[in-house]
């Protein structure tokens, strides 16, 4: 790849997004915060990884619209992994969130998006959502890590 008078060097940038959540399935759009981190990183070509270090939350991408995020996804999760079902986690810990752990396992804790020309390469109708899945309010941290090439002036 040719940068004209610029040379590329590899860089890594990381920041955390802090989120206070409510109990139950809650979707929070973090797209703007991820895009701001990509811009701060100065990475032109690379990858951005969005990760939740939690076993009862998830990171997904889809259209962030109310019908999907507040009705369709919670209803689908309830049909697939009902809260009232008996879970081994509940028998052991008696904390009422076995369903939250199973839901998080199937949805996944991270998402990796290409960074192209200094921007997260999301589709027209894609946003990045943090999904709270636990049965109690939480203080969460989402890690955003960007790795890739940064254009820098060449040494003379």
Report the predicted TM-score, pTM, of the whole model to 2 decimal places: 0.90
Q: Is 34 helix (H, G, I), strand (E, B) or coil?
A: helix
Tell me what pLDDT residue 22 has: 96
Exposed/middle/buried for residue 46 (C-beta within 10 Å: 0-12, 13-18, 19+)? buried
pLDDT, tens digit, 9 for 90 and up, residues 98-112: 999 999 999 999 999
pLDDT, tens digit, 9 for 90 and up, residues 9-19: 999 999 999 99
Q: How far is Cα 78 from Cα 67, in angstroms, rounded to an integer?
A: 16
Tell me what pLDDT residue 156 has: 42
pLDDT of 5 strictly over 70: no
Name all domains of the chain by residue range, CATH numbers in brackets: 16-149 (2.60.120.460)
DSSP codes joined into one string, 76-129: HHHHHS-TTS--HHHHHH-SS-HHHHHHHHHH-SEEEEEEETTEE---TT-EEE
Q: How far is Cα 59 from Cα 111, in angstroms, rounded to an integer?
A: 6
Q: How far is Cα 52 from Cα 131, in angstroms, rounded to an integer?
A: 9
Percentage of the chain modeled with pLDDT above 70? 93
- The angle formed by the CA atoms of residues 53, 139 and 62, to the nearest 5 degrees, is 60
Range 30-54 average pLDDT: 98
């Amino acid at each position: 790849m040719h940068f004209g008078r610029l040379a590329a060097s590899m860089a890594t940038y990381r920041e955390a997004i802090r989120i206070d959540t409510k109990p139950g399935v809650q979707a929070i759009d973090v797209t703007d915060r991820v895009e701001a981190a990509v811009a701060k990183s100065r990475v032109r070509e690379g990858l951005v990884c969005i990760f939740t270090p939690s076993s009862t939350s998830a990171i997904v991408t889809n259209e962030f619209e109310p019908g999907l995020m507040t009705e369709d996804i919670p209803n689908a999760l309830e049909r697939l992994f009902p809260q009232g079902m008996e879970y081994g986690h509940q028998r052991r810990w008696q904390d009422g969130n076995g369903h939250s752990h199973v839901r998080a396992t199937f949805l996944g804790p991270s998402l990796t998006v290409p960074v192209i020309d200094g921007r997260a390469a999301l589709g027209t109708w894609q946003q990045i959502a943090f999904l709270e899945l636990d049965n109690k309010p939480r203080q969460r941290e989402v890690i955003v890590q960007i790795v890739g090439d940064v254009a820098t002036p060449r040494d003379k």
